[in-house]
Structure 1
Amino acid sequence: MYKIILFFLPIFVFSQTNFEKGEKLFNQKKYSEANVYFEDCLKSNKNDYKTIEYLGDIAGYYKNWDEAIERYKLLKEKFPKNANYHYKYGGAMGMKAKESNKFKALGMIDEIEESFKTAAKLDTKHIDTRWALVILYLELPAIIGGSEKKSQKYADELMNISKIDGVMAKGHIDEYFERYNSAEKYFLQSVSLTHSATAYKRLINLYNKMKLFQKAKVAQEESDKYNKE
């Protein structure tokens, strides 16, 4: 018995070492190098689901959507109650649809929508999924399910989960429909809540779109003050 354990121990240690090296490189955003270690790790254990997720994330970073979809599909089918896997699968599908011709993209819409809605049901506080649904329903033509009302529904849910995300989502919707004055109010609110570079960027982009260049300049100066490197 002990001989059997000692025989498998080097393989286990090797696999763990590969995973740890890959994870460290991934966290350093050295994705290409991390990918090599994760691939080796998967050879030792094809059911290492965390490694599969990392490989899906790396594939997505490099816009290898087919590989990312394959990785996430395996995960969501293995763990159907995991909201994040449904979200990532829908996201990879959505990005592939954007790069496909219109007819192919149309055939993918239902699955993308269902993946995001499933993730939202499984996790009532999943912020990224609700952002995805806000954007999906804004960009879809009305004839195939696009609707401001649906976008606003998920923006309202965001407001209940995270005020800053809700405010930004409301501003995003108003900006999309060129209700710039209303969008400005939301983005100003988001700036007052966080003073983050992201909030200022949305406000500055809006001012540039409105050709309010002096306001954009003032907002940039404020952003620089609050977001010093």
Structure 2
Amino acid sequence: MSYVAQGSPENIALAQQVNGRLRAESRIVFARAFLFRAAGAGVFVALAGIGVGAAAYGWATMNQFDSAAEKIAAAMQAALSDVTLKTKGEVTLTDNVLKLEGALPKAAAAPTPTKAQLGADAAPASKAIVNTTFTVFKQVPYLDGQIVTGWNFKDSADQPYQQYCYFSRRSNESKGQVEIKIDLAMDGKTLPQPQKSDVNLAILASNCVWHDGKSL
């Protein structure tokens, strides 16, 4: 075992080698630390770039879809504005069929007495003046009978001079067919209710058909 004196050349050389080794190792540690810091910064920048790129792509995609939806909606609106829809079908009402094709069917014209039916040339043997009147009947089915309203007209007058309404029903009896007739109203007014009667005249009279559509 040998000892080197302090300040000897050997000791100075050893110290220089130790110092050089320590400086080299410190530079290696600093380089490693810088490498790790640079790698971390690079990863951060890369992730930030990916995030910004994904956000930009999503924003562009959403705007593209909104624009496409707006274009489709505008195209559909323009197409529908020039389309004419035509319907064809039928609605069944009990046993009657109403076909919806073109205009609605016109109501049947009311029967008008002919000149022969009125007998304008008929005259009595006495040659007296003849006043011609005629009656228009309106019939409404009710229970097992019907409610009949009569309009009495004079010559070519547009308004009836008299109106009456009654309930009529036919029944078969042992002696033959019998007609039951109950007077209901006159000139739009219901007749007085009989005291000993189960028939409510007001209810039946609500089915009378008056010329002006309302009570006189």
How does the TM-score come out when normalised to structure 1? 0.20
**Which structure dedicates a bigger proportion of its chain to strand?**
2
How does the TM-score come out when normalised to structure 2? 0.20
**Which structure dedicates a bigger proportion of its chain to helix?**
1
- Select the structure of larger CA radius of gyration: 2
